[in-house]
């Protein structure tokens, strides 16, 4: 009744192509932003900010990145965690070599290093597809992880082999390192996510995104229509890796505060992000948020939420339930609903549009 | 119809759940949230450790009503050996006012060390984690007794020298190090290299990538080819039983293979069957149930059906390591109660309790563990102690002690640690100088 477009006329091409054509949607997104920027930092406890919001915000960018590659361009990748690692290590090297430069600049710049590596490992995608490409990107994952452990220059010859995030300030306010306030970190991560999501959404809705989708649906047909496969696929790899790189830098610098390469950017994380893409919905921006939220929040809610409301469940059992739920849901969604939670959201919106007179 | 019934069931379940909440907090208690990994790739090592700590604190509650009359509210936090979950557990421990944080993984220790002085929760990483944390002047909130990996390397070489008949006999020998290709695995290399230069032996390293932990046949062929005299194992998880099995398969003398203390689990040696007989590992505490404290656990916990562990696993090496850790933490809590005069202590108090930790041989006996481990003493400057260790040997069914106490070469290790601590403080710009006061041990 309230959610319908009756009476909203589009008078220009621009308004016809808008991302949120409905006024209700625009108001909704403003409310969500206001909640995220004002209400969450004011109301949420440190525990929720630190264990749910920060990893969610950091990982959502990686999920968007993989979604660009897998969901929009149809190229599967298992090297996501490796590309995240490139971002994290690039940011670490940059900020230790040039400590005076604003750390936020370096977080963004580290994405370009990751994009460069992504293009190199994306080259085989021109020749191989599907499972074989997955194996090629798997090689990227293992090679990059090997490099993080074996090249001591990357972690400044630290005897413990880990990277530790130093204190960095922006306008006198500490933003990274142990003394930075959690609210500051949250707002920074949120801003990165909002801006980069806006950029990604514009890319996928524009000419580039359409050529990606054409390649995904049938690359020979796309080539016949004049889309250059090499440039398009490599651009998808570059943009995807850029997002993963920024995500990795945020993950270490804003969320973890230090990382040991062998454990943080392992194949496990690559799979988790792939599952998030599948659960959230292949080829959907909002799906990336659903997927990342689901993957991050489910274990925490099961492990700490259920005992808090009095359902006795040990951590070990909760972890096993998480594995079962995510595995079952991934298979279920792949078979029944490849567009994932995003499709359910769309169906709900469609139903709401015609409510209360469905026929 | 179906959905209504389902909803009804769920609703009832929720109500029942709420009703099951018991009124906690009615009596005073000390909270302790302990990281464990009962699931995941490293659970084989994680479960016995977790059972040992858990049973020790349950025993204290059942036998003495806690520590100093205050019950210990022991809680586990499952990490799967995953840093992200371990950070989550840090937040959980903080929100529950845990008096100490026990990371049980190097990654978790590194991620949380910078937070310790801010959240006022001490970190206790027993013989793992950041070795440089032994320097109390730089890391007032971190404790890693009883010895570091660097001390372990020193003990290794001293033991080999004993067996060979003197340090001068090491000249010309080849000593191999099989290591997990991760920061943990590479820890002993600098010390071993320095010792190799000094004593004239050759050090060969054989890194095992984490993904190849269970595939070491080529490594052991290389060991054969290099005519290695001794093999040291710096491993954890599935890497250890594989190394023992491969040593047997290639016929390398098992009594010349020495694991670090994390390669000394019963389940590291047992799977290799008779091939494992003679395998050595470092340790700093005894195995078996032949101690009053373990007997108390059997009586007050296991017999009441409150233990998660199978009865025959009690007294195994990693289980007793969990008990050992529990005893050190309990002693720190006791010290904190004595120093502050409070019954319910906080993390800040327990940090002070750790700094005056002093368990002499007599005190070990009082704690129900005569000759269980070497005396442990910490000071404000030395958060590790570099205490003595010994070598244990697998006889095919259980571990037996196979050497005397061997003291690490503190004079060599300490300056290296201080250097590492300085490097940490300088690379982490803004690392605070120690402002915590120092208590006098009494």
Is the Cβ pair A264, B118 closer than 8 Å? Answer: no
> Do B29-147+288-377+417-427 and B149-283+391-408 agree at the fold level?
yes
Q: Using one digit for the tens of pLDDT, what is the confidence trace for A90-101?
A: 999 999 999 889
pLDDT of residue B348: 94
B149 contacts in chain A (CB < 8 Å): none
Size of interface A-B (CB pairs under 8 A): 140
Q: How far is B159 from chain A (nearest CA, A)?
A: 25
d(CA B239, CA B211): 10
pLDDT of residue B299: 94
Q: How far is A111 from chain B (nearest CA, A)?
A: 22
- Token readout for B311 is 């009865």
- Report the 10 Å Cβ neighbour count for A208: 18
In B, minimum Cα distance to A268 occurs at B82
Is the Cβ pair A166, B427 closer than 8 Å? Answer: yes
* Residue in the structure block whose two tokens are 């599952």: A275
Q: Using one digit for the tens of pLDDT, what is the confidence trace for B175-186?
A: 999 998 877 888
Is the Cβ pair B428, A300 closer than 8 Å? Answer: no
Q: How far is A39 from chain B (nearest CA, A)?
A: 21
Q: Which of A263, A270, A276 to mutate to test the interface with B (most CBs of B within 10 A)?
A: A263
In angstroms, what CA-CA distances link B267 with A288, A314, B215?
42, 24, 18
Nearest-by-Cβ selection for A312 from B20, B39, B428: B20
d(CA B242, CA B12): 50
- β-pair type (B29-36, B71-78): parallel
pLDDT of residue B13: 47
3-state class (DSSP) for residue B238: coil
pLDDT of residue B442: 59
Is the model's pLDDT at B439 over the cut of 60? yes
**Virtual torsion, Cα A344, A348, A350, A355, nearest 10 deg:** 160
Lowest-pLDDT choice from A27-36, B80-89, B143-152, B199-208? B80-89
**Residue numbers of B between 188 and 207 with CB closer than 8 Å to A:** 190
Catalogue the long-range contacts made by B310-313 (C-beta closer than 8 Å, 24 or more residues apart).
Answer: B313/B48, B313/B51, B313/B266
Higher pLDDT pick, A311 / A345 = A345
**How many residues are given for chain A?**
359
Q: Which of B14, B47, B87 to mutate to test the interface with A (most CBs of A within 10 A)?
A: B87
Q: What is the DSSP string of B275-333?
A: GGTT-EEEESB--SS-SHHHHHHIIIIITTT--SS-GGGTTSHHHHHHHHHHHHHHHHH
Q: What is the DSSP string of A81-147?
A: HHHHHHHHHHHHHHHHHSTTS-HHHHHHHHHHHHHHHHHHHHGGGGT--HHHHHHHHHHHHHHHHHH
Is the Cβ pair B430, A177 closer than 8 Å? Answer: yes
B149-283+391-408: CATH superfamily? Response regulator (3.40.50.2300)
Is the Cβ pair A50, B111 closer than 8 Å? Answer: no
Is the model's pLDDT at A345 over the cut of 80? yes
CB proximity B41 to A under 8 Å: no
Q: How far is A141 from chain B (nearest CA, A)?
A: 12
Average pLDDT, chain B: 88
Lowest-pLDDT choice from A347-351, A354-358, B8-12? B8-12
A300 contacts in chain B (CB < 8 Å): 88
Is the Cβ pair A142, B82 closer than 8 Å? Answer: no
Domain boundaries, chain B: 29-147+288-377+417-427, 149-283+391-408
- Report the 10 Å Cβ neighbour count for B434: 16
- β-pair type (A173-176, B230-234): unpaired
CATH number, span B29-147+288-377+417-427: 3.40.50.2300
**Residue numbers of A between 143 and 172 with CB closer than 8 Å to B:** 146, 149-150, 156, 158-162, 164-167
3-state class (DSSP) for residue B198: helix
In A, minimum Cα distance to B432 occurs at A179
d(CA B424, CA A160): 10
Is the model's pLDDT at A292 over the cut of 60? yes
Closest CA to B179 of B213, B151, B128: B213
In A, minimum Cα distance to B129 occurs at A160
Is the Cβ pair A167, B429 closer than 8 Å? Answer: yes
Element (H, E) at A151: none
d(CA A136, CA A138): 5
Average pLDDT, chain A: 88
pLDDT of residue B108: 86
Nearest-by-Cβ selection for A319 from B39, B107, B427: B39
Is the model's pLDDT at A109 over the cut of 90? yes
Q: How far is B271 from chain A (nearest CA, A)?
A: 25
A264 contacts in chain B (CB < 8 Å): 83-84, 107
- At B53, is the pLDDT very low, low, confident or very high (cuts 50, 70, 90)? very high
B82 contacts in chain A (CB < 8 Å): 263
In B, minimum Cα distance to A52 occurs at B88
pLDDT of residue B39: 86
User: Is residue B1 a contact partner of residue B69, using CB atoms and an 8 Å limit?
Assistant: no
Q: What domains are there in chain A, each with its CATH number?
A: 47-354 (1.10.3470)
- At A359, is the pLDDT very low, low, confident or very high (cuts 50, 70, 90)? low
pLDDT of residue A262: 63
Is the Cβ pair A178, B115 closer than 8 Å? Answer: yes
Nearest-by-Cβ selection for B83 from A50, A264, A310: A264
What was the ipTM of the complex prediction?
A: 0.76
């Amino acid at each position: 009744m309230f959610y319908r477009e009756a009476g909203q006329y589009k008078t220009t091409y621009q308004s016809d192509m808008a991302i949120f054509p409905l006024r209700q949607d625009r108001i909704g997104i403003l409310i969500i932003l206001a909640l995220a920027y004002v209400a969450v930092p004011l109301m949420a406890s440190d525990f929720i900010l630190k264990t749910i919001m920060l990893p969610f915000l950091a990982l959502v960018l990686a999920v968007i990145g993989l979604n660009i590659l897998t969901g929009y361009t149809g190229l599967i990748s298992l090297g996501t965690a490796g590309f995240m690692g490139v971002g994290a290590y690039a940011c670490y090297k940059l900020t230790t070599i040039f400590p005076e430069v604003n750390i936020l600049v370096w977080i963004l710049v580290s994405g370009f290093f990751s994009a460069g590596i992504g293009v190199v490992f994306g080259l085989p995608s021109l020749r191989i597809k599907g499972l074989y490409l997955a194996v090629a990107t798997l090689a990227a994952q293992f090679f990059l992880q090997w490099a993080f452990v074996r090249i001591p220059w990357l972690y400044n010859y630290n005897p413990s082999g880990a990277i530790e995030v130093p204190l960095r300030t922006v306008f006198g306010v500490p933003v990274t390192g142990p003394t930075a306030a959690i609210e500051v970190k949250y707002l920074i991560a949120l801003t990165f996510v909002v801006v980069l999501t806006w950029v990604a959404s514009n890319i996928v809705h524009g000419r580039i995104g359409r050529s990606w989708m054409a390649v995904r649906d049938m690359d020979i047909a796309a080539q016949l229509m004049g889309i250059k496969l090499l440039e398009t696929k490599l651009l998808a790899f570059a943009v995807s890796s850029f997002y993963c790189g920024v995500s990795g830098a945020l993950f270490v610098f804003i969320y973890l505060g230090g990382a040991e390469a062998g454990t943080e950017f392992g194949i496990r994380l690559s799979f988790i992000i792939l599952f998030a893409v599948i659960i959230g919905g292949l080829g959907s921006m909002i799906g990336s948020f659903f997927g990342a939220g689901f993957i991050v929040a489910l274990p925490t809610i099961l492990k700490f939420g259920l005992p808090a409301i009095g359902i006795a469940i040990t951590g070990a059992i909760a972890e096993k339930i998480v594995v079962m739920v995510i595995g079952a849901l991934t298979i279920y969604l792949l078979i029944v609903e490849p567009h994932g939670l995003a499709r359910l959201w769309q169906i709900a919106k469609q139903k709401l549009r015609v409510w209360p007179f469905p026929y | 119809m179906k959905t209504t019934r389902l909803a009804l069931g769920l609703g009832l379940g929720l109500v029942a759940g709420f009703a099951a909440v018991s009124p906690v907090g009615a009596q005073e208690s000390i909270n302790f949230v302990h990281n464990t990994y009962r699931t995941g790739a490293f659970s084989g090592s994680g479960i016995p450790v977790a059972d040992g700590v858990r049973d020790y604190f349950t025993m204290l509650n059942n036998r003495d009503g806690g520590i100093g009359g205050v019950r210990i509210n022991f809680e586990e936090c499952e990490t799967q050996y995953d840093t992200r979950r371990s950070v989550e557990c840090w937040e959980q421990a903080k929100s529950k006012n845990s008096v100490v944080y026990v990371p049980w993984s190097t990654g978790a220790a590194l991620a949380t060390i910078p937070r310790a002085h801010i959240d006022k929760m001490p970190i206790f990483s027993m013989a793992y984690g950041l070795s440089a944390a032994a320097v109390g002047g730089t890391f007032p909130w971190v404790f890693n007794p009883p010895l570091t990996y660097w001390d372990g390397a020193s003990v290794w070489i001293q033991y080999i020298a004993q067996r060979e008949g003197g340090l001068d006999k090491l000249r010309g020998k080849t000593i191999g190090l099989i290591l997990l290709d991760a920061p943990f695995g590479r820890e002993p290399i600098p010390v071993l290299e320095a010792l190799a230069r000094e004593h004239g032996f050759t050090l060969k390293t054989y890194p095992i990538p984490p993904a190849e932990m269970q595939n070491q046949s080529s490594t052991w062929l290389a060991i054969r080819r290099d005519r290695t005299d001794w093999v040291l194992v710096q491993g954890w998880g599935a890497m250890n039983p594989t190394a023992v099995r491969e040593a047997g398969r290639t016929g390398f003398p098992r009594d010349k293979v020495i694991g670090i203390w994390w390669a000394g689990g019963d389940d590291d040696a047992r799977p290799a069957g008779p091939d494992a007989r003679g395998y050595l590992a470092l340790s700093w505490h005894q195995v078996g149930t032949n101690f009053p404290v373990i007997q108390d656990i059997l009586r007050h916990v296991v017999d009441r059906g409150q233990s998660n562990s199978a009865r025959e696993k009690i007294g195994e090496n990693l289980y007793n390591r969990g008990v050992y850790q529990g005893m050190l933490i309990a002693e720190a809590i006791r010290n904190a109660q004595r120093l502050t005069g409070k019954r319910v202590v906080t993390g800040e108090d327990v940090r002070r309790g750790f700094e005056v930790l002093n368990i002499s041989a007599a005190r070990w006996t009082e704690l129900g563990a005569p000759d269980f481990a070497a005396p442990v003493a910490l000071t404000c400057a030395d958060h590790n102690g570099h205490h003595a260790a010994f070598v244990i040997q697998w006889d095919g069914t259980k571990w037996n002690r196979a050497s005397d106490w061997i003291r690490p070469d503190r004079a060599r290790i300490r300056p290296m640690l201080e250097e590492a601590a300085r490097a940490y403080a300088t690379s982490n710009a803004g690392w605070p100088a120690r402002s915590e006061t120092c208590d006098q041990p009494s």
